[in-house]
Structure 1
């Protein structure tokens, strides 16, 4: 028994010295603090803003999230890939040049399709606020470049700190605004302000050296070479990210169209609350796991499968308890915390919890797909699963009601993620086998 405790102690000590573990902890703690702030404010905000207000915010956000990957054509995610500092800076320049071209195009689209977009987002009364979409795209591109640069430079604490501060300030603004003039428009404006704060806080916390010499982000030097070398991100990662965002945003837009903004607000709150563990652990592990997996597999192909299996096992253990509790008692827990007006959100949460568990479990697999050269597979998967999600949502709405639609949508997601996990594990096993033979 003593020897067992000694081994556990030695293992814990070794883990505490691990750079990977420290990086995951830094990102996780920052994300946890930001999510904790949002969740602490939530019971107050849901009593100030009704489901309609959150429905307008969620529909606007869904639309922006669908377009945002187009702003940088997916190149921002490639900043961690180049081996040289100049190569990474060129990718940053390329990302911002793309954003400078896409934002005016978005402005034109808003001008010509303002009425249709207003209906989809529930902003018929104030359609001019749709002109904030190009502003949000530009800020999102800057923040994406800054975040990916911080990941490349290993500045995880600075990234986490900026996220915490900006989240706190934004939620204080929501609370103050909710007391004075609660509306969906205010939530939309504050969400955009939050991006600007996050970007500003991050730049204030990082040393202006290396790839973080911001003045070098602007220009056109080296962008052709960067576009050619990282073309997989534009050809595969960007389309699959857009399709993925569309498939997740579609329920909000379709629920708004079919059942009204109140229903989409109930759905949005459920996904927001249950998405907190995803942000806490899933995103944190992905951001650290991606560069580590890239480096490890480049050096030793045989390590691909063991690395991925360990990460997946850990994510599975972490997903069981929180999502299991919500799947069983969500209809009691959610309205008791948020208020009686949010009963439907609790019923939605019981189905969404199963879906979110599958998202968390497959995060390491999705993060490893780039280095396993499965970008094309991921794109095909996103096309297929998006079609399946739309069919499931409409089928559920046709045979039942909004709850049936959300349940069908969630179950299709679970099946899709488990299928994707099997594909990636199979590919990693093949790479490891080839590595051992080499």
Structure 2
């Protein structure tokens, strides 16, 4: 019973993530044939920039919501996250208004035009979604989280499919509006029927008292904005830089092939890893507070993830080009070829991604940031050198698949080694 109760949240979130990933995958044959690689590549650049900003929407304080023992403090952290999101969204709007006239000279920016003004709204919706997700995680309302994720992907996909009827003239507008409406609908679902968190004390209804409480908590959990936030931003920046680099050196169509390919091959990692990492964060935090040795749990998770990743990796190596061509259209067989070259990286990324939350619990976010900087630098340099020297994206992806597994193995070894939290006098 205890094991089934522990696995129930993972199963619930994994099922919802499966459905959320399945919906766009089922629609992909229609979307790729209608919108085409060039248009999807331009949209992918906007989505990458929006995702890059989303990771700092709450300054990563949302991950601190699950840590306090008292619910009142967690509620104050939730309000702090929402205040930060509002401030950053306004700053983003001002930055876009100031930068857009100058940046429109760049071809990649010019293709989207005024749609870049949607970035502040995406930032606000993402911050609200992240804060409410972790708040609901703390409340163990995994059903609401699951429904919100399905709603976000399902609504976006449905609108993109229905938008085909409007023709090519409205294609970019359909892609953008579908993404925006999906991003707004998801946090709205989390807000529906959600009781507001209790205030820490009655006197904290005043703004001055709330400000003092926020300042106290912000200082206590300052490692999240100071260390984890740059860490997450750098990770997201890699994806933005890669899309921009491919678009500039190989064209928007190649960027579109790469973006859709990466989205599809990383779907299993998003499915299993996303659900596992959220539940694992709470369990690791509880174990760390009890002074448990987390290494056995991490080793078990690594073995399980490696076993699950074997079959998708084998399928990519053997059948990726014909599968992509059959599912997405003959023009997309090249994307399957890209997937084959990237398979070793995808295999190790599947294992590592869910376990990165461990450093938030063990307090090793500073060295984790250094690891992240090295890993992202290796990825981008391998891509750039492969494109320059090999002249083709296949060469670049092959270079990535040679370099990144070495980095991932070193990272996992460091992660496990530093997760022994037992009192020193008890360590044999």
CA displacement at 1:118 relative to structure 2? 4.7
Aligned equivalents of 2:342 and 2:44: distance in 1?
Answer: 16
Deviation at 1:169, TM superposition (A): 2.2
| Structure-2 change in CA distance of 1:197 and 1:283 (3 Å) | same
Q: Is the 8 A contact 1:311 1:364 kept in 2?
A: no
Cα separation, 2, equivalents of 1:243 and 1:218 = 37
Q: Which residue number in structure 1 is paired with residue 364 of structure 2?
A: 374
Structure 1 position 414 matched with structure 2 position 402: no
Which residue in 2 is equivalent to 1:208?
Answer: 195
User: 167, 186, 198: which one pairs with 1:198?
Assistant: 186
Residue ranges of structure 1 left out of the alignment (5+ in a row): 1-12
- The reply on whether 1:296 has 2:287 as its aligned counterpart is yes
Partner Cα distance (2:240, 2:262) in 1: 11
Q: Could you tell me how far 1:121 is from its partner in structure 2?
A: 7.6
Aligned residues: 419
* Preserved contact between residue 120 and residue 257 of structure 1 (Cα < 8 Å): no
CA RMSD of aligned residues (A): 2.4
User: What is the SS of the residue equivalent to 1:389?
Assistant: helix
Which consecutive aligned stretches of 4+ in structure 1 deviate over 6 angstroms post-superposition? Answer: 216-219
The DSSP-based 3-state class of the residue aligned with 2:241 is: helix
Distance in 2 (CA, whole Å) between partners of 1:267 and 1:436 is 51
Conserved? CA contact 2:72–2:199, under 8 Å = no
Query: 2:92, 2:119 within 8 Å by CA — same for their partners in 1?
Result: yes
Residue 57 in structure 1 maps to residue 43 in structure 2:
yes
Separation in 2 of the partners of 1:163 and 1:359? 22
1:26-72 deviation line (CA, Å, top 9, x unaligned): 10011111111121111111111101121112101111122222322
Q: TM-score, normalised by structure 1?
A: 0.89
Map of 2:225 onto structure 1: 234
Q: Contact 2:288–2:421 (CA<8 Å) still a contact in 1?
A: no
**1:130-141 to 2 correspondence within 5 Å?**
130-141=116-127
Query: Compared with structure 1, are the counterparts of its residues 115 and 251 closer, same or farther at alpha carbon in structure 2 (3 Å cutoff)?
Result: farther
Contact residue 155 and residue 178 of structure 2 kept, 8 A: no
Q: Does the 8 Å contact 2:125/2:184 carry over to 1?
A: yes
Where do 5+ consecutive residues of structure 2 fail to align? none
Instruction: Give the equivalent residue in structure 1 for 2:381.
Output: 391
Q: 1:382, CA displacement in angstroms? A: 1.4
Give the secondary structure class of the aligned counterpart of 2:259: helix
Which whole-Å CA distance do the structure 1 matches of 2:206 and 2:320 have between them? 48
Conserved in 2, the CA contact under 8 Å of 1:170 and 1:194? yes
Give yes or no for contact 2:34–2:164 (8 Å, CA) kept in 1.
Answer: yes
Aligned to 2:251: 260
Aligned residue for 2:131?
A: 145
Indicate whether 1:327 and 2:313 are aligned: no
**1:274-353, aligned counterparts within 5 Å?**
274-302=265-293, 304-353=294-343
Residues 358 and 185 of structure 1, relative CA distance in 2, 3 Å threshold: farther
3-state SS, counterpart of residue 311 of structure 2:
helix
Q: TM-score, structure 2 length as denominator? A: 0.91
